Structure 1
Amino acid sequence: MQFTKEDCLKYVEDNDVRFIRLQFTDIFGRMKNIAITNNQLRHAFENGVMFDGFAVAGFTGVEASDMFLFPDPATFSVIPWRPQQGKVARIICDIKNHDGSQFEGDPRYVLKRILRKTYELGYTFQVGPECEFFLFHTDNQGQPTTSSHDTASYCDLAPFDQGENARREICMVLEEMGFEIETSHHESAAGQHEIDFRYTDALTAADNIMTFKMVVKIIAQRNGLHATFMPKPLPHVNGSGMHINMSLARGGHNVFMSQEDPGDISKTAKHFAAGLLNHVKGITAVANPLVNSYKRLRPGFEAPVHIAWSHMNRSPLLRVPAPRGEGTRLELRSPDPACNPYLTLALVLEAGLDGIRNELKLAPPVNENIYSLTPEQQAQLKLERLPSNLLAALEEMKKDSLIRTTLGEHIFSKYTAAKALEWEEYDNSIHSWEIDRYLKSF
């Protein structure tokens, strides 16, 4: 059920909801919130709730810092782990300037703006994310470690899967908050897990990803564990990805489905895929936002390295999973769960639409295992690679005018400046590998 403003107000009054958390996301994908009491909810809907935008990284300067949160009633949900007497609810918010105009630096607004263009073209963008994460022990002070007594592998059961109980509790809490959970299982690396939820419209999917990450971390903590969406916390095992399954619908029907060849994808899907591959280098700094993200994008760990597509083959960047008919979709395998889902989905969608608008031609599929190809074979196929580090990704981002236009000047400039500083800090640091390798030898 999607709540209206009046539905929210009535539910709060009838069900002893005493506090409401007004949640929003900064440009780097971190969730924030301000809490209000139930008596302030109507005022929040009608007038917004003021906060200091200068105190949120990437938002505004001190000279124009008064900003307002406006709750989106469709996102209302009771938080199940809080007390049931004097309940706590949450609502995801949109952000406006003091004069009532939309704040251009609101990531949710960026996605809504691109979705509005999509609706005007007659399309609905449908998304199904696959979010992976690690569960680790904490130390005696409650600080996270990178150790796990879990020895399980892909789809293993207890007793090897020591995170099974926490994962089950996460699923139950998410269902109480309105999620439809499709599958959950242990992933390939020890301590690594995946929970997949229902395919839905892109805005709901992005909201769900942010809620999902919050729930996973809190339920893990309640089980004495630390959950991390860091892309590559361990050096010799697979990292965590956030594969994005996507399709476009028109009039309730999937336009990626081929009418001429049931085993293939439509011309629209091929144009969309071509646009996505054409702009993916520029998207990478947003879809893979951390210095650590690029430790995951390495050969041999089931993460994509080369810019190619295929049917079913999991080694390229973009694949077409087996289902056809209304289930036809594309799967982008490069994003990781540290990304801002609003910005990532906005860029992926706009890149695909660019392919449709310009009828870009999709290169032939690469059906071989790309990981096993020699450099000569890769050169023969003219395979390009994703950026190999955050600095290279930022350079590609700056080259692509579609990225700047989609994000808007505010987010583009704030984001690239902050990420350039992040790379500089990393590059200027002395790492333990260097000490271990060189201190005694030279």
Structure 2
Amino acid sequence: MQQEILKMVKERSVKYIHLQFMDILGQVKSVMIPHIMLEKALSEGILFDGSSIAGYATIDESDMRAVPDAKTFQILPDDPKTATIICDIYLPNGKRFDGDPRYVLQRALKKAESMNFKFVTGPEFEFFLFKMRDGKPTLEPNDYGGYFDFGPVDQGEEVRKEIIGIFADIDYMPEAAHHEVAPGQHEIDLRYGYALTIADRILTLKAMIKRVALKYGLYATFMPKPVFGVNGTGMHVHQSLLSRDCNENRFYDPNGPWELSDVALHYIGGLLKHADETTAILNSWVNSYKRLVPGYEAPVYISWANLNRSALIRVPAGRGMKTRIELRNPDPAGNPYLQFAVMLAAGLDGIAKRVEPPEPVEQNIFAMSPEKREELGIKSLPESLGEALHHLSRSEFMREVLGEHVFNHFLYVKRKEWSEYRAQVTEWEIKNLLPIL
């Protein structure tokens, strides 16, 4: 495959290659090399300073090597002189780096395969587009449309069209794109695929959305709740376990309750059981918890349902090979490799321990009284990053899933973020408390 890539680069006159990976926070990182260095990079990887990458290493253990995964090589249709390739991270001694988020997911997928499952996901990826002024982003949306609105072609629609066009050209299989509920809010859905492939595509999508938006003078943000009073931005993740040959959906049982198999029900049980522990990874920023509040369609309560969109987990219509569950609390600001890894691990733990989920809740949970929720045993997700980190720090399950390095470094970085955030004095406090205290 290496020779095929080199031949393609020569024939297509590609000049630049971005070697890409992610830090533990979900930020896309890149080292650009000229085409003349590609053969060496494919054979040996490229050295970089890991101490400069959030959550990777300290300054005394900083040397790392980014080794390209040849299967991820792509020439960009909108910039044909440039290609990208996603990397695995290695230590100088040739061992995989335990702090590489892609490696965390690869380990989880290997465990699933040892249980004869193949994990597939399909994310609904949301983002906001804001106008820019003097080269800086504002909070002014690029449009004032609503859910599925279609009107005169605007910059937001052009951004969506260009992105799904690029993804289609490189066979990344975009399903659809549409305007979301809030002004300036948009969604791009990716077709189901192997979870590692989809996490790689989210990395590409994050970088592409930012780049294409700037071409139209707009700023794209994945911040979960940039504007008070409107819906926040989520990344609902549809997911299934297939047989290893992909010929059978292991969530489907025509004779099971709701046509769901024991595997599906125990998987749901595992996700619910570990909901508190996984929230810090699925919703990893202080701002994530401004989205997870009642009244804006975001899930708040640990429950599952078939049709009810106020539940944390929903089982959408469609059976047979289309059988899937939808986890609704992840947001696009996080790291997709870690997000996919922890949701898979939670589901597999439910299967291994045969965790039975409670009965589905088909009533609107947002409209229930606290007493009714207590009667039904419905608990809430963590209400802040601090609370989520508390649950994460006490979880031996999450320590095993993430590995010591990611577990400890994530807690260190995020506790610092939470500490700095808690010390801030906000406009709300000044406006509402200063005049009366």
TM-score (normalizing by structure 2): 0.97
CA distance in 2, matches of 1:172, 1:159: 19
Deviations 1:351-382 (A, max 9, x none): 10001111111111001011111111111101
Within-5 A mapping of 1:253-402: 253-261=248-256, 263-402=258-397
CA distance in 1, matches of 2:395, 2:197: 27
- The runs of 4+ residues in structure 1 deviating greater than 4 Å are none
Q: 1:392 to 1:165 in 2, by over 3 A?
A: same
Partner of 1:246: 239
Deviation at 1:218, TM superposition (A): 0.7
1:124 and 2:118 matched: yes
CA RMSD of aligned residues (A): 1.3
CA distance in 1, matches of 2:180, 2:233: 9
CA distance in 1, matches of 2:226, 2:408: 29
Q: Residue 101 of structure 1 is aligned with which of 82, 95, 103? A: 95
Deviations 1:292-328 (A, max 9, x none): 0000001110000100000021110001001111100
Q: 1:385 to 1:161 in 2, by over 3 A?
A: farther
Identity of aligned residues (%): 45
CA distance in 1, matches of 2:235, 2:154: 21
CA distance in 1, matches of 2:252, 2:322: 8
CA distance in 2, matches of 1:23, 1:149: 29
Deviation at 1:439, TM superposition (A): 2.6
Partner of 1:68: 65
Q: Which moved more, 1:291-300 or 1:30-39?
A: 30-39
Q: What SS class does the counterpart of residue 30 from structure 2 fall into?
A: strand
Q: Which moved more, 1:41-50 or 1:103-112?
A: 41-50
Q: 1:262 to 1:438 in 2, by over 3 A?
A: closer
Partner of 2:193: 200
Partner of 1:33: 30
Do 1:387 and 1:393's aligned partners in 2 also have CA atoms closer than 8 Å?
yes
1:173 and 2:170 matched: no
Write the letter of the residue equivalent to 1:155. F
Deviation at 1:119, TM superposition (A): 1.2
What 5-or-longer segments of structure 2 have no aligned partner? Answer: none
Deviation at 1:422, TM superposition (A): 0.4
Deviation at 1:95, TM superposition (A): 0.4
Within-5 A mapping of 1:12-91: 12-82=9-79, 84=80, 87-91=81-85
Do 1:279 and 1:400's aligned partners in 2 also have CA atoms closer than 8 Å?
no
Do 1:161 and 1:186's aligned partners in 2 also have CA atoms closer than 8 Å?
no
Deviation at 1:48, TM superposition (A): 1.3
Deviations 1:377-397 (A, max 9, x none): 111101111000000000011
CA distance in 1, matches of 2:129, 2:56: 32
CA distance in 1, matches of 2:258, 2:265: 14
Q: What SS class does the counterpart of residue 121 from structure 2 fall into?
A: strand
Deviation at 1:440, TM superposition (A): 3.0
Write the letter of the residue equivalent to 2:74. S
Deviation at 1:67, TM superposition (A): 0.6
Deviations 1:187-216 (A, max 9, x none): 011111101011000000100111111111
TM-score (normalizing by structure 1): 0.96
Q: What SS class does the counterpart of residue 153 from structure 1 fall into?
A: coil
Q: Residue 434 of structure 2 is aligned with which of 402, 421, 439? A: 439
Partner of 1:430: 425
Deviations 1:76-101 (A, max 9, x none): 0112333x4xx110100000000000
Do 1:150 and 1:160's aligned partners in 2 also have CA atoms closer than 8 Å?
no
Q: Residue 410 of structure 1 is aligned with which of 383, 405, 425? A: 405
CA distance in 1, matches of 2:117, 2:142: 47
Write the letter of the residue equivalent to 1:134. F
Do 2:142 and 2:156's aligned partners in 1 also have CA atoms closer than 8 Å?
no
What 5-or-longer segments of structure 1 have no aligned partner? Answer: none
Deviation at 1:44, TM superposition (A): 1.2
Q: Which moved more, 1:342-351 or 1:60-69?
A: 60-69
Do 1:174 and 1:215's aligned partners in 2 also have CA atoms closer than 8 Å?
no
CA distance in 1, matches of 2:147, 2:334: 24
1:134 and 2:128 matched: yes
CA distance in 2, matches of 1:114, 1:169: 34
Q: What SS class does the counterpart of residue 417 from structure 1 fall into?
A: helix
Write the letter of the residue equivalent to 2:281. V
Deviation at 1:179, TM superposition (A): 1.6
Partner of 1:421: 416
CA distance in 1, matches of 2:45, 2:159: 37
CA distance in 2, matches of 1:382, 1:121: 31
Deviations 1:152-178 (A, max 9, x none): 111011239662122111211222233
CA distance in 1, matches of 2:307, 2:202: 25
